[in-house]
Amino acid sequence: MKRRTVLTTGAQMLGLAALPAAMNLARAQAARTPLPLRSFSRRPLMEQVSLSPDGKRLAALVNGESGTMLVTRAAAGGPVQNLMTTDNLEFIFSWIRWINNERLILGLRYPSHREDDFLGVWATTETRLVAINADGSNPINLIKNRGASAKNLRWAQIQDEVLDYLPDGKHILLELPASDRVFDTAVYKVNVDTAERSTYFTARDRIYDWVTDASHQVRVGIGRTEQGVISVWVCDANGKNWRQISHYAAFDRERMYPLGFGLDPDQLYLQALHEGLPAVFTLDISKPDSKPVLKLADKRYALDGSLIHDERGEAVGIRKAVLGEMASFYWDPRYKAWQKELDESLPGRFNMLYAGARNGQDFILTSEVPGQPESVYIANLGDAPSIKLLAQTYPELHKQPLGKKQHFLYKARDGMELHAFVTYPPGAESNERLPVVIMPHGGPQAADGLEFDAWAAFIADRGYLVVQPNFRGSTGYGEAYMEAGLRRWGLEMQDDLEDVVRHCVDSKWADPSRVAIVGASYGGYAALMGAVKTPDLYRGAFAFAPVTDLIDFVDDAGQGSRREAVRRQIGDARDDVERLRSTSPVLHAQKIKVPVVLLHGTHDRQVDYKHSVKMAEALKKAGKVHSFHTFDKGDHQLSHQAYRDQLFGHLEKFLAQVLAPRG
């Protein structure tokens, strides 16, 4: 008999009185008015949820006006316990996980600086590892300082690289540099109640990451040379006979990256290319002459996600958000059947299981409709399967009319076929020519998709057509698509944005006299470069955390694999100096004819704040109309809620000034 999954669609279960969900907002009206700005600028109500091993409790990161809270609660409902709160300025929660039914560990990160007598002072992102009981008691820093050398924290800048969770529920395996004098990484066994640690596996030369098998034995090492070459090493089950199975530099097609193990300690899961797309392979590492065997591939999608394990530790599939289509690719029959059952219970949606309890039947389930905010459920897939709503991630937008998001293809001027997404304003007619906002994504090795995007939804809600092109260099469409963007910043990658405007105009979607460009990070660079390269195309450029000086950016890349990746992605400061100068917006401010808005956080560790400072100075010197908004202690993700509100306010004002919205 076919099982029937019971879907509970009652009121939101989280029950946080301190976080009103504004459920009384007016529903769709005949004469529609824009939705409140905060409905879009807010961080998702819940960003992470974790179930205790027995499935009886949950922990979550919950966002409100005052910041982010780490909370716990019984999975079936009841009072909420607030364990910790941050305003996302001093520190940010990175991740959470139950270590046993009573205790959690969590990673924190925060901006800082390091100082060296030879190297001077440089900006860093530090991480720390904390353990805390589910009731908030006994919080401790799990990196216990030892001896006088502990005062020099160079050896422990990154402290939350948990390698494995031991079955006793009391210990974890943690990667840390072997001493304050080397960067080679050793593995330590750490007690989560006392922070006592002992050496579990000694360091090897130039190995920085490790992988354990299901027996918790270290079997794989990942190293990097000063020249940026990545090497993968494996050993026998007894820890002997180390041998190299792969070596490659950034963007090499021959790369072969370890994903982990299932129950078989000799079967290593790998990610490698198959017909131009990342796929999953297995390798028998007990045999030195064995070759990778294809496990799972897809003709359309890059399977470059993480392994999914069941309650026993067996690998059952690969988790990958495919161009916004939240999808899991399974080879395990039980999980395939569960996915089918969930898709029948929640039809027309993208449904994905994650954060399963170790009891093998309770899971967190996320579900979304294209272009709509995600819903979070607790799913029980036991003998009496059920799905219960836990929270709406954007509760104020639930059941509100939002812009319709669609995929389309367009041709670049050189004939390359490119992917893009368009979001129409709510209620817009397809035969209207609308003011359009071009919104290139960051990365640029990333991609936009059908998933909910708060920026795009907000802009569409204000009456503008939003176009998100996956220009060449974007990921998810195969290696050739991504490689076409290498070292092409400001060149063909930029032309692709001009070509998508032409496509929208030719398709009679867009008013060619009302086009603006908006972006963050690489997208911010592209917005500024668009105003430089095609000064008559756009009515204005809005850039958050943009790269503005490519020579500075590649010079700041540091050494090793990161420097080599930047060299291959963007260029070399010596060999490519003329190209980098010609495609650096800061050096061409005099060409800009339209208003520019710059925004940047002072604690941005991905793109240095100085990039916007220099751009603002160049615009001022050239006598160009511009504004520059600084977010003190703000990060690259704009995690502080007040700053998010300000950014959306500046964006709304900018668009109203440079584009006439739809009446």
Least-confidence region, from 6-15, 30-39, 102-111: 6-15
What is the residue-averaged pLDDT of the chain? 89
How big is the chain, counted in residues?
A: 663
Q: How far apart are alpha carbons 627 and 643 in whole angstroms?
A: 16
User: Two tokens at 79?
Assistant: 């009072």
Does residue 471 carry a pLDDT above 90? yes
Mean pLDDT, residues 280-305? 93
Contact call for residues 288 and 245 (beta carbons, < 8 A) = no
pLDDT tens across 251-274, in order? Answer: 888 889 999 999 999 999 999 999
Of the given ranges (33-47, 202-216, 388-402, 551-565), which has the lowest mean pLDDT? 551-565
Position with higher pLDDT, 323 vs 200: 200
pLDDT at 556: 83
User: Does residue 326 surpass a pLDDT of 70?
Assistant: no
Q: How far apart are CA 291 and CA 533, in angstroms?
A: 49
Residue 150 reports pLDDT greater than 60: no
Task: Residue 138: count other Cβ atoms within 10 Å of its Cβ.
Answer: 13
Q: Which CATH architecture has domain 404-549+584-658?
A: 3-Layer(aba) Sandwich (3.40)
Taking the domains of the chain in order of start, what are their residue ranges? 204-331, 404-549+584-658
First vs last Cα of the chain: how many Å apart? 55
Model confidence at 577: pLDDT above 50 = yes
* Among 237-251, 383-397, 591-605, the least confident range: 237-251
pLDDT, mean of residues 437-462: 95
* CA 141 to mean position of chain CA atoms: 26
Low-confidence winner among 138-147, 451-460, 608-617 (lowest mean pLDDT): 138-147
How much is the pLDDT for 327? 65
Region 107-132: what's the mean pLDDT? 86
Q: Is 22 a residue whose pLDDT tops 80?
A: no
Q: What residues are paired with 283 via a beta bridge? A: 268
Tokens 């300690």 found at: 265
Percent of the chain at pLDDT above 90?
Answer: 73
Please state the rounded mean pLDDT for residues 79-105. 96
The pLDDT value given to residue 7: 55
Q: What is the pLDDT of residues 43-61, one digit of tens each?
A: 999 999 999 999 999 999 9
| φ, ψ for residue 410, nearest 5 deg | -145, 160
- pLDDT one-digit tens code per residue, 499-516: 999 999 999 999 999 999
Going across the sheet that includes 465-470, the strands are 404-411, 417-424, 465-470, 434-438, 510-520, 541-544, 596-601, 626-631
> How far, in Å, CA of 551 to CA of 563, rounded?
13
Helix (H) or strand (E) holding 21: none
- Quick one: pLDDT band at residue 184, thresholds 50, 70, 90? confident
Q: Work out the average pLDDT over 483-496.
A: 97
Q: Bridge-partner residues for 82, per DSSP?
A: 71
* pLDDT score of 321: 72
pLDDT: which is higher, 403 or 325: 403
* Beta strands at 434-438 and 510-520: parallel, antiparallel or unpaired: parallel
Please state the pTM of the whole predicted model: 0.92
